[in-house]
Structure 1
Amino acid sequence: MDRSETSARALDYALMLAGWYRAAVTAFEVIWVNVPPVSATSQPVLSPKQLEAFADDLQRFVDAKAPADAVVHTKIGHGPVVRAIRQEARELHADLIVMGTHGQGGFERFLLGSVTEKILRTVTCPVLTIPPAAPDVPTVSTPFQSILCAIDFSPASLRALEYALLLAEESGKRLTLLHVFDWDEDRLVHDDRATREIRQEHRAAILVRLRALAPADVREWCDCREMTAIGRPHEQVVLAAAGEKADLIVMGAHGRRASTLLLGSTTNQVVRHATCPVLTIRT
């Protein structure tokens, strides 16, 4: 975090989830001194007094938000931000990283933005990204009442579905499974009836496959829906999330082949453009 408004929103969500799961939160801020090192192999060094000042500022920032019964630790890291976050997550055996998609901080702090995308590509634990347009943290006991899970039937997206099902069972009233066909409708001539019929059959088959992904008991406690869309995957995921009033988008970190959801570049684009939190799962 960098104590910006965006990272403050991410902290709010982290605290909410920690309260929900009775977990601990580590508020981690990385300080990067933007001055040349003494030598090619050394890094700029902060004095103990400077580090103490940063730690005090971070503690005050967290104390202003954390409820009295929350278990919150604060820690200051130093050095290249992505490397520091990865190392801290490994050492903590973190179950989840929560980040804002961009931020603004002082001249010595790394702005969260491209950092988030690098973290998405390199960490092994799930990452929850909170966009600037995300709503305030829900005050209800079940925060994610409408969940959208993007499916391209790749191992990554099926792993993401496992998380979506767990969250829907614990919190959701609605789970929407979405598959996007990356078809170029503009190139389909108006009277190409045969191609349209083939596509309709393919869509019907995909809806059957989507329906089979959710166990029968899921529909007993959750409104489980299946959807397909045509167009650019990231645009359709964001549009569908808005249409379903989703509180959370769940996606795998990479896809199967070029003609499917492309859950690599697609994930980054969804994270950039979504107006609700995005949970990314790597395999």
Structure 2
Amino acid sequence: MSLQVGNISTLPSRLLLATDLTDLQHTLPVAIDHALQYRAELRLIHVLPDVNSSDTNPSLLVHSDREGVQHHAETILEDAAKKARDAGVQCAWTMRTCHVADTIRQVVQEWGPDHVIIGSHGSQKAQQELLGSVAESIFREVEVPVLAIGPEVQHDGKFFSKDARVLFATALNRESRSVAESVLKFARIHQADLTMLHVLPEVAKAHPSASRVRSYAERMFQEILSGISAQETRPACMIERGHVAETILRVAGQGKFDLILLGAVSGASFRREIVPGTAYGVISRAPCPVLVLKEGTLLGTSGLPAAP
């Protein structure tokens, strides 16, 4: 019987780290700190490629010794779980053989984690294409927030701390309103220094639609901020023009942000301006972790651990 997932209005008690084993150097320290802050249980999931699947990447099938590959994976997983347990985290691991995104979605339904943590490489082109496709499938299909750790992230735990600088990149469509309100709530609870960013498409300033598009974005920001009282700190709002991923990365780097939040909708309406392509493009090069939120899923108090 599957568990109900997606309700993240309380502090999470279960975290799922999805790993291809090569990313543990980047993702495991973050997952351990995340679990310690929440006092949460951690589970590792690794998916072996299905040799009988027509969509399996041939580069993953270079090892003919199936038992040897499985034993090697089990050893790495147990070593990683032991590191987590030695740090004081309740941790177990599981390994399955199937399509990666489908398996992770199934484990989420079965076990009911509050967050999924994934890694990305971003260096080799073949790996980027494969892992980018898997990551974006996870963003689209998994009904819980996904914390993505790219290879450029320097782990110092700052993004879990009070007064963290948080950049929220939003599409500013009508469906994004609920996520924006939850992000504002998170900022108040954690006293985060929040900046909200919207990226306009590349349109010449002289084009008749340019001013209308910007006016719409300004009006949407005004609506989102209308519920903030005079006593509360208002987040900064930025409207930039350019390529979405490149602009988010530029702003994140220049502003020295500790965490990037990306909003995304579910299913067939999944906004193509944000994903596919953009989300993984941001993650693989971001200087800080990226938390991908489903629009319509409430962030509540559990977006990050409670401020100390």
**2:250 aligned to which of 239, 243, 249:** 239
Whole-Å separation in 1 of the counterparts to 2:103 and 2:159: 34
CA 163–75 in structure 1, closer or farther in 2 if over 3 Å, else same: farther
TM alignment of 1:170-181, pairs within 5 A = 170-181=189-200
Q: How far 1:144 moved relative to its partner?
A: 7.1
- Partners of 2:42 and 2:90 within 8 A in 1: yes
> Which structure ranks higher in relative contact order (CA pairs < 8 Å, sequence separation ≥ 6)?
2
Whole-Å separation in 1 of the counterparts to 2:200 and 2:159: 35
Whole-Å separation in 1 of the counterparts to 2:193 and 2:53: 52
Aligned to 2:262: 251
Unaligned runs of at least 5 residues, structure 1: 38-43, 105-110
TM-score (norm 1): 0.74
2:81 aligned counterpart, secondary structure: helix
Q: How far 1:218 moved relative to its partner?
A: 9.3
Aligned to 1:32: 49
Whole-Å separation in 2 of the counterparts to 1:64 and 1:93: 23
- Partners of 1:151 and 1:261 within 8 A in 2: no
Deviates more, 1:56-65 or 1:223-232: 56-65
- 2:102 maps to 1:90: no
Give the letter aligned to residue 24 of structure 1: E
- Partners of 2:158 and 2:164 within 8 A in 1: no
- Partners of 2:162 and 2:192 within 8 A in 1: no
**1:275 aligned to which of 279, 287, 290:** 287
Aligned to 1:264: 275
Give the letter aligned to residue 242 of structure 1: G
- 2:33 maps to 1:3: no
CA 137–22 in structure 1, closer or farther in 2 if over 3 Å, else same: same
- Partners of 1:130 and 1:276 within 8 A in 2: yes
Larger Rg: 1
**2:172 aligned to which of 149, 153, 175:** 153
Aligned to 2:146: 127
Whole-Å separation in 2 of the counterparts to 1:92 and 1:218: 43
- Partners of 1:24 and 1:72 within 8 A in 2: yes
Whole-Å separation in 2 of the counterparts to 1:112 and 1:179: 26
- Partners of 2:140 and 2:265 within 8 A in 1: no
Unaligned runs of at least 5 residues, structure 2: 1-18, 55-63, 124-129, 296-308
- Partners of 1:176 and 1:225 within 8 A in 2: yes
Aligned length: 257
- 2:32 maps to 1:15: yes
